[in-house]
């Protein structure tokens, strides 16, 4: 049972970049196990429905990364800092949600089951290695082998472009495989609930289950859109690298990842505020892909997302935080 839960945690960790919206000045959120995390500029809250139907809430005040570390106010750097904080909050929310969702009361009253720290650390390490292996090592290896056997693909530019296309295909195939799993489908439904509730909030209408359910499940600030931009930009960046050796190419891909993340963040940030022409086209593939990563939620799942939003908003109000909506 413990091994199964550990594997579930690894799969959910792999999905963190897909499920979260990493913008520090906007109301956004993330789907977690049987729940939703919502965050505002200075607060966050996680609502999870336990197996007995009870909704439990964790909330905490947070400082914007640019306030805590002023260097992350600058373009490019702010993307790196914001994504790092979003991933940290996502792991924190995932740990709480996993503990709550897996708590069946068998440990006794007042002693909820919690995810051990070693399990979370091991999960993070394995997830990082899996990410580098699947999206950096495998596509580059396949592209290099293709270049050796197909003369038309032997050039540096051709190998890098094949590498980029394979990376996107692997990503799409991995998402499609996960979407077929019952456990992952439920988190995609909570992902849809999070988007509907954020849309409802941004519309200015009262946030209710009925109002939220009228909105679509795909949102331009979703991590799915962000990842696609990262992958497309990676193709352009890597094509310009003056390296021919396999090891040099692999190391450069890992080292340049923070830079590509920073540029992608700025593009998505700009596109979210200018939904027309080229900028609208930039977000369209991500919106299409969200047909996979978001599913229509039930009213009960939407209610959990609303509880998370209300918790974050109440805490934000206590701190006098200013809410900025795109």
Tokens 């919106």 belong to which residue? Answer: 287
pLDDT at residue number 152: 77
pLDDT at residue number 22: 46
pLDDT at residue number 236: 85
- Cα–Cα distance, 277 to 57 (Å, whole number): 41
Give the orientation angle of helix 246-255 with respect to helix 138-149, to 10 degrees: 150
pLDDT at residue number 259: 87
pLDDT at residue number 113: 62
pLDDT at residue number 1: 43
- Cα–Cα distance, 232 to 251 (Å, whole number): 19
Q: Which residues contact 106 (CB under 8 A, 6 or more apart)?
A: 113
Q: Where are the domains of the chain?
A: 2-318
| CB 53 within 8 Å of CB 317 | no
Q: Please provide residue 276's backbone torsions phi and psi, each rounded to the nearest 5 degrees.
A: -155, 155
pLDDT at residue number 296: 93
- Cα–Cα distance, 113 to 105 (Å, whole number): 8
Tokens describing residue 184: 């992952």
| CB 5 within 8 Å of CB 203 | no
DSSP string, 92-123: HHHHHHHHHHT--STT-TT------HHHHHHH
Tokens describing residue 250: 């692999």
Helix (H, G, I), strand (E, B) or coil at 150: coil
Residues 125-171: pLDDT tens digits? 888 888 889 889 999 999 999 888 888 777 788 888 899 999 999 98
Q: Which residues contact 152 (CB under 8 A, 6 or more apart)?
A: 158
> Based on the number of CB atoms within 10 Å of its own CB, is 70 exposed (0-12), middle (13-18) or buried (19 or more)?
exposed
pLDDT at residue number 21: 52
Tokens describing residue 65: 């990364």
Tokens describing residue 254: 């890992």
Counted residue by residue, the chain has a size of 326
| CB 196 within 8 Å of CB 215 | yes
Q: Which residues contact 229 (CB under 8 A, 6 or more apart)?
A: 264, 267, 268, 282, 286
pLDDT in tens, the chain (326 residues): 455 555 666 665 655 555 555 444 345 678 888 899 988 778 889 999 988 888 999 988 887 777 788 887 888 788 788 777 777 888 888 888 888 876 655 545 444 566 667 777 777 788 888 888 988 999 999 999 988 888 877 778 888 889 999 999 998 888 888 888 888 888 899 999 999 998 898 888 999 999 999 998 887 767 777 777 888 888 888 888 888 889 999 999 898 888 888 888 887 777 666 666 555 666 677 778 888 888 999 999 999 999 999 988 888 887 765 544 33
Tokens describing residue 144: 């290099």
- Cα–Cα distance, 4 to 11 (Å, whole number): 11
Q: How many helices (H) does the chain have, and how many strands (E)?
A: 14, 4
């Amino acid at each position: 049972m413990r091994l199964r839960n550990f594997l579930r945690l690894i799969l959910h960790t792999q999905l963190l970049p897909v499920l979260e919206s990493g913008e520090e000045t906007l109301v956004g959120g993330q789907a977690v196990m049987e729940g939703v995390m919502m965050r505002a500029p200075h607060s966050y809250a996680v609502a999870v429905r336990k197996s007995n139907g009870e909704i439990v809430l964790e909330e905490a005040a947070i400082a914007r990364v640019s306030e805590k570390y002023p260097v992350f106010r600058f373009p490019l750097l702010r993307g790196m800092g914001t994504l790092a904080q979003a991933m940290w909050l996502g792991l924190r929310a995932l740990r709480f949600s996993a503990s709550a969702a897996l708590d069946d009361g068998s440990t006794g009253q007042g002693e909820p089951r919690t995810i051990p720290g070693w399990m979370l650390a091991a999960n993070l390490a394995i997830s990082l290695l899996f990410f580098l292996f699947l999206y950096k090592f495998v596509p580059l290896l396949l592209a290099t082998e293709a270049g050796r056997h197909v003369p038309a693909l032997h050039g540096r530019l051709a190998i890098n472009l094949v590498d980029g296309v394979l990376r996107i295909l692997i990503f799409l195939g991995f998402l499609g495989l996960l979407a077929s799993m019952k456990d992952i489908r439920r988190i995609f439904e909570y992902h849809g609930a999070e988007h509907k509730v954020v849309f409802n909030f941004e519309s200015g209408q009262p946030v209710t289950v009925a109002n939220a359910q009228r909105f679509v499940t795909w949102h331009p600030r979703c991590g799915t859109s962000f990842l696609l931009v990262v992958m497309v930009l990676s193709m352009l960046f890597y094509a310009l690298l003056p390296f021919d050796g396999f090891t040099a190419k692999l190391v450069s891909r890992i080292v340049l990842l923070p830079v590509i993340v920073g540029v992608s963040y700025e593009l998505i940030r700009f596109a979210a505020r200018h939904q027309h022409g080229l900028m609208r086209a930039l977000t369209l593939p991500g919106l299409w892909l969200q047909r996979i990563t978001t599913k229509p939620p039930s009213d009960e799942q939407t209610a959990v997302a609303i509880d998370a939003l209300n918790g974050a908003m109440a805490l934000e109000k206590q701190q006098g935080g200013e809410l900025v909506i795109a």
